[in-house]
């Protein structure tokens, strides 16, 4: 392993555990401004003195401003490091950090505050070598978990040399260090049903049952499910809400479905499969949340090969089904690599954790990629 990678990774890991404690201690559910502001203050405290820190408007209305920190250099390349500070955990379910063997448990530990502290460490590590880059930017957003629209900042980095996203790390089939270079497109399909209420005992046939219409819509969506097809489409009904009383024909309701595929265009047939009327109840379907896919396999292959040489062990490109901010940035920065955070498990659950030894090993992976990208000695 390259000496700079080994010594720098050890230093990053030494600070990362304490910094992760501090970030996980903050309850920062997506959309909560107070929690986001506290998380931003903690993250800002870990920035190098040389960084220019700014607050920029979040892509989602009503959210706290995002954090953008920049370190300027005298070289040519521009590198973006990206993460998010929001979690899916509400305040009442927040779990503060605690240890269990070599694990740090806590809300948002692996998704993705563990990755955030590694991104901060990489930024600090690059400060002493400004001749190697023109600019390194670190972007922490506050709305990744529940954003409906696009990541507005992505277009601001058009033409940059690379983007590194620090979502949780993973290993390949043979145990190699794996990074994420391919993600599916993702969307949320919402179906709204409008029917006619009626007494379910004395006059059931005078009603138009919204619940039955939604059930038919759910079946139609599920029939589109084709993970082995050309677009690897998954179409999964996940939430259905209808009815207010056990003795009234429900006159309204909503159905939500999660759809994922290699292309955003693959979702149109699913949308078209939802009938407009069932049993007199009308149905209106729309895609309320769309995230593009990401495929950086070709663009990143030479870089990962060079990083493997510097690291002294293989770094391979892999795939993940979930969406990420890297998906948005990859539309503007072809050389985008994700999954650079520490490994762990239980994301979005009360058992969420980070494997503490991987703070160092995944820092090594990120630094090897940075060293290859910036041609560090």
Q: What is the pLDDT of residues 60-82, one digit of tens each?
A: 999 999 999 999 999 999 999 99
Domain limits for position 196: 185-291
Do 219 and 193 share a structural domain? yes
SS3 string, 210-241, reads HHHHHHHHHHHHHCCCECCCCCCEEEEEEEEE
Q: How many structural domains comprise the chain?
A: 2
Identify the residue with better confidence: 237 or 288. 237
Do 255 and 146 share a structural domain? no
Q: What is the pLDDT of residues 117-137, one digit of tens each?
A: 999 999 999 999 999 999 999
Do 237 and 174 share a structural domain? no
Chain-centroid distance, C-alpha 24: 17
Q: DSSP string spanning 171-205? A: E-TTS-EEEEEEE-EEEEEEEEEE-B--BTTT-GG
Domain boundary among 291, 314, 334: 291
Do 340 and 298 share a structural domain? yes
Do 150 and 39 share a structural domain? yes
Distances (CA, A) of 283 to 68, 208, 216, 222: 43, 12, 10, 16
pLDDT value at 353 more than 80: yes
Give every CB contact of residue 133 below 8 A, 6+ residues apart in sequence. 73, 75, 76, 77, 78, 79, 126, 374
pLDDT value at 322 more than 80: no
Confidence of residue 323 (pLDDT cuts 50, 70, 90): confident
Do 129 and 32 share a structural domain? yes
Q: What is the mean pLDDT of the chain?
A: 97
For residues 324-353, average pLDDT: 97
How far is Cα 360 from Cα 342, in angstroms, rounded to an integer? Answer: 8
Q: Residue 216: which CATH number? A: 3.30.70.360
DSSP-derived 3-state class of residue 306: helix
Question: Dihedral sign, CA of 194, 199, 201, 202?
Answer: negative
Q: What is the pLDDT of residues 263-291, one digit of tens each?
A: 999 999 999 999 999 999 999 999 998 99
Identify the helix (H) or strand (E) that includes residue 145: none
How far is Cα 109 from Cα 94, in angstroms, rounded to an integer? Answer: 11
Do 276 and 162 share a structural domain? no
Do 164 and 174 share a structural domain? yes
Do 344 and 310 share a structural domain? yes
Produce one character per residue of 266-290: b if its CB has 16 or more CB atoms within 10 Å, e if not.
bbeebbebbeeebeebebebebebb
Longest dimension (CA), the chain: 83
Chain-centroid distance, C-alpha 90: 18
How far is Cα 151 from Cα 141, in angstroms, rounded to an integer? Answer: 9
Q: What is the pLDDT of residues 7-39, one digit of tens each?
A: 999 999 999 999 999 999 999 999 999 999 999
Domain boundary among 272, 291, 310: 291
Q: Are the beta carbons of 214 and 253 closer than 8 angstroms?
A: yes
Question: Dihedral sign, CA of 344, 12, 363, 312?
Answer: negative
Q: What is the pLDDT of residues 134-190, one digit of tens each?
A: 999 999 999 999 998 899 999 999 999 999 999 999 999 899 999 999 999 999 999
Do 7 and 132 share a structural domain? yes
Q: Determine the pLDDT at residue 15.
A: 97
Domain boundary among 231, 256, 291: 291
* pTM attached to this predicted model: 0.91
């Amino acid at each position: 392993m390259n000496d700079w990678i080994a010594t720098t990774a050890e230093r990053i890991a030494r600070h990362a555990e304490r910094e992760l404690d501090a970030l996980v201690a903050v309850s920062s559910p997506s959309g909560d401004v107070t929690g986001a502001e506290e998380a931003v203050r903690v993250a800002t405290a870990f920035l190098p003195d040389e960084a220019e820190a700014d607050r920029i408007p979040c892509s989602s209305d009503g959210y706290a401003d995002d954090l953008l920190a920049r370190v300027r250099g005298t070289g040519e390349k521009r590198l973006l490091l990206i993460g998010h500070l929001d979690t899916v955990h509400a305040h009442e379910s927040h779990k503060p950090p605690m240890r269990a063997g070599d694990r740090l448990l806590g809300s948002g530990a692996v998704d993705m505050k563990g990755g955030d502290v590694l991104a901060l460490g990489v930024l600090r590590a690059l400060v002493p070598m400004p001749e190697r880059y023109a600019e390194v930017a670190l972007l922490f957003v506050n709305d990744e978990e529940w954003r409906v629209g696009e990541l507005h900042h992505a277009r601001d980095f058009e033409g940059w040399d690379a983007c590194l996203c620090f979502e949780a790390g993973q290993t390949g089939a043979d145990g190699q260090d794996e990074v994420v270079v391919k993600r599916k497109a993702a969307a949320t399909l919402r179906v709204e049903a409008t029917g006619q209420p009626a007494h379910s005992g004395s006059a059931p046939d005078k009603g138009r049952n919204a619940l039955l219409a939604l059930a038919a819509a759910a079946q139609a969506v599920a029939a589109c499910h084709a993970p082995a097809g050309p677009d690897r489409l998954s179409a999964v009904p996940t939430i259905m809400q209808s009815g207010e009383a056990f003795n009234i024909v429900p006159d309204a309701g909503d159905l939500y479905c999660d759809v994922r595929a290699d292309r955003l265009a693959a979702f149109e047939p699913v949308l078209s499969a939802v009938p407009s009327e069932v049993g007199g109840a009308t149905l209106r379907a729309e895609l309320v949340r769309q995230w593009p896919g990401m495929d950086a396999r070709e663009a990143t292959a030479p870089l990962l090969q060079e990083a493997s040489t510097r690291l002294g062990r293989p770094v391979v490109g892999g795939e993940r089904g979930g969406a990420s901010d890297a998906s948005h940035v990859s539309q503007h920065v072809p050389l985008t690599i994700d999954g650079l955070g520490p490994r762990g498990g239980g994301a979005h659950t009360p058992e969420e954790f980070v494997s503490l030894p991987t703070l160092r090993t995944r820092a090594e992976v990120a630094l090897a990629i940075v060293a290859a990208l910036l041609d560090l000695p």
